[in-house]
Amino acid sequence: MIHRIPSGTRDVLPDEMRELRAMTDRVRGVFERAGYGEVYTPALEYENTFQRADMSATRPAYRMFDEHGNVFVLRSDMTVPIARLVASRYAQAEPPHRFSYFAHAYRGVRPQRGQSREFLQAGVELIGAPAPDGTAEVLSILCAALDAAGLRTYRIGVGDASLYPSLLEAVGVPGNRRERILTELVTGDFVGLEQELQSLPLADDALELLLRVPGMRGGPELLEGASGTLREAGTGMRTLHALLAPEVAERIIFDFGLVRSLGYYTGAVFQVYDPAYGVPIGSGGRYDELLGRFGAPLPAVGFALNVERLHIALTGEERGLA
Amino acid sequence: MSALRIAVPRGALLRETLDLLDGIGLDTREVRENDRKLLFEAPGIVTMRPSDVPTYVEAGAADLGITGKDVLMEQSEREVYELADLGYGHCTMVLATAAGEDRAAEALRRLGVVRIATKYPRIAAQYFLETGRQAEIVEVKGSVELAPLTGLAEGIVDLTATGTTLRENGLVIREEIVRCTARLIANRVAHKLKAREIDALLERVHAR
């Protein structure tokens, strides 16, 4: 007799589990050797913990009540629980703090899309280490983790969440128009972006710049080629690039159009790609203001890999799709 | 010649899409000569229903795709890049009802809710929500013009290029919702990992 499980969840059987376990053990070794001790936090948190973080894209989808009427949520990522943990348990400790995790997160799904309600994330958070050094450290761990997992052809897109907003400000786009423009950029609608920009009274060169930047992606030559306002906006990425070891730098695609919809990102943002798989397999970035919302103002950076997607990309590479 | 795989819509957009691809240096003769075959390795073309294009592109089964803005609006949650307005396939999403007295307006006034038949349930629902009117959306798969003529619904939300089909079925356009054209879309990963190929193609599209 067949008993159903909720859509977006699944059973893992021994053959798959062995492969997943072997892969995550290799990744765990990288995290441990780099000094990122593993933590686990409850899958349930108080709703106001996540409300404090104020993020639009990954708002928790599942709520429940306890016997006193308190509202719990199923965590939608691990970054917010770790921010809470650092603020409450490491208030007296000397930063930086280094943590890793292998934990499930829970998000709402759209029907018929193959999305997961429950998915395993493997990630690190480096708290109390500002840009650019902290960012460079986390990027090098990200590469080491992907190498250890067994991926060969992965690349990491690196952008800056503040780049496009600062360009909009520099060319004098009024604040109330910026949000719609950024929405078009986040959703990847370059046609809509062009329509929004053309409806503004912008000088020709400003319009040209704002239209060109979202499509700019490539190697470090992109950073060197920039001039004027754009060069200034790209300073963060340039200093970051200078700190990266060659084996990390060769994996990076600088991406001026990369913005993340997660509300708490402030500076560098990353996304992990593999040619063997059509969707990103992990992401991360700097969230220098998040800890402050928990009363422990510390700059921070981290990433999370989606373990299931990592496994799909790995099998894809083995089948020669890359 | 191309390392890219492009999802091409069969149907109304096919001819102009193939003309465009010819114009940027792809050889589409085999596609034109063969309407059963679906995958053409040499030019890197796969053909499919327009509404399937975002599905293939989002998953990375095709790097690029061409489809109507109407399809993209109806599937607005698809995570793809919309790279260019290709400037052909002009049509308009409209609200139409039977000629004569506007039955939809009457239903809203007297019943408080209007029944709308459509192949675009999300665009229709969003439009009525945004204009502050209550609508019951009835999804149909085939000729939607039949719905107001048989009493299934008071009005329809549908795509029209010339308005001929509407007129021939005794329907009139009451409101224009949005104008649509063919769009070029890209997979999120391919857009980064095949940046040079995609930018070169985009440049040829713009230079046309």
Q: Give the count of beta carbons closer than 10 Å to the beta carbon of residue B90.
A: 12
Question: What's the pLDDT score for residue A114?
Answer: 75
**Strand (E) or helix (H) holding A186:** helix A175-186
**A291 with A87: CB under 8 angstroms?**
yes
What pLDDT, on the 0 to 100 scale, is given for residue B7? 98
Q: Which residue has the tokens 């048989």?
A: B150
Tens-digit pLDDT profile for residues B101-124: 999 999 999 999 999 999 999 999
Q: What is the pLDDT of residue A59?
A: 81
Mean pLDDT of B17-31: 94
Question: By three-state DSSP, how is residue A113 classified?
Answer: coil
Q: What is the pTM of this model?
A: 0.91
Suggest the residue from B75, B192, B194, B202 to mutate for an interface test with chain A (most A CBs closer than 10 A).
B192
Residues 6+ apart with CB under 8 A from A20: A12, A120, A307, A311
Q: What confidence score (pLDDT) does residue B2 get?
A: 46
Q: What is the pLDDT of residue B1?
A: 37
Mean per-residue pLDDT over chain B, rounded: 94
Q: Is the peptide bond before A111 cis (omega within 30 degrees of 0)?
A: no
What pLDDT is recorded for position A265? 80
Which backbone phi and psi does B29 adopt, to 5 degrees?
-55, -45
Per-residue pLDDT of chain A (322 residues; tens, 9 = 90+): 999 999 999 999 999 999 999 999 999 999 999 999 999 999 999 999 999 887 655 788 899 999 999 999 999 999 999 999 999 999 999 999 999 999 999 998 877 777 899 999 999 999 999 989 999 999 999 999 999 999 999 999 999 988 998 899 999 898 888 888 998 998 899 999 999 999 999 999 999 999 999 999 999 898 888 888 888 878 889 999 999 999 999 999 999 988 876 567 888 999 999 999 999 999 999 999 999 999 999 999 999 999 999 999 999 999 987 6
Query: Is B85's CB within 8 Å of A277's CB?
Result: no
> What pLDDT shows up at residue B167?
95
Cα dist from A267 to A159, A301, B83, whole Å: 8, 9, 25
| pLDDT score recorded for residue A229 | 83
Element (H, E) at A211: helix A204-212
**Cross-chain Cβ contact A190/B83 below 8 Å:** yes
Nearest to B183 by CA among B93, B81, B94, B92: B81
Task: Provide the 8-state DSSP code for A189.
Answer: B
Task: Using CA coordinates, name the residue in chain B closest to A112.
Answer: B55
Residue B169's pLDDT is 95
- Residue A137 has, within 13 A of its CA and on its CB side, a CA count of 22
Contact A190 B183 (CB under 8 A): no
Give the model's pLDDT for residue A322: 63
Residue B159 corresponds to which tokens in the numbers above? 């795509």
What is the structure's pLDDT at A274? 96
Q: Is the ipTM, as predicted for this complex, more than 0.90?
A: no
B132/B128 Cα distance (integer angstroms)? 6
Residue type, B17: T
3-state SS track over chain B = CCCCCEEEECCCCHHHHHHHHHHCCCCCHHHHHCCCCCEECCCCEEEECHHHHHHHHHHCCCCEEEEEHHHHHHCCCCCCEEEEECCCCCEEEEEEEECCCCHHHHHHHHHCCEEEEECCHHHHHHHHHHCCCCEEEEECCCCCCHHHHHCCCCEEEEEECCCHHHHHCCEEEEEEEEEECEEEEECHHHHHHCHHHHHHHHHHHHHC
Confidence (pLDDT) at A262: 54
Q: Which residue has the higher pLDDT, A61 or B137?
A: B137
- Cα nearest neighbour of B86 on chain A: A191
Which amino acid, A137? E
Confidence of residue B179 (pLDDT cuts 50, 70, 90): very high
Identify all chain B residues contacting A273, using CB atoms and an 8 Å cutoff. Answer: 189, 192-193
d(CA A272, CA A284): 9
Q: Which residue of chain A is at minimal alpha-carbon distance from B80?
A: A188
Q: Tell which residue, B159, B28, B148, has the closest CA to residue B97.
A: B148
Query: Rg (Cα) of chain A, in Å, rounded?
Result: 20
> Which chain B residues contact residue A192 at CB under 8 A?
82
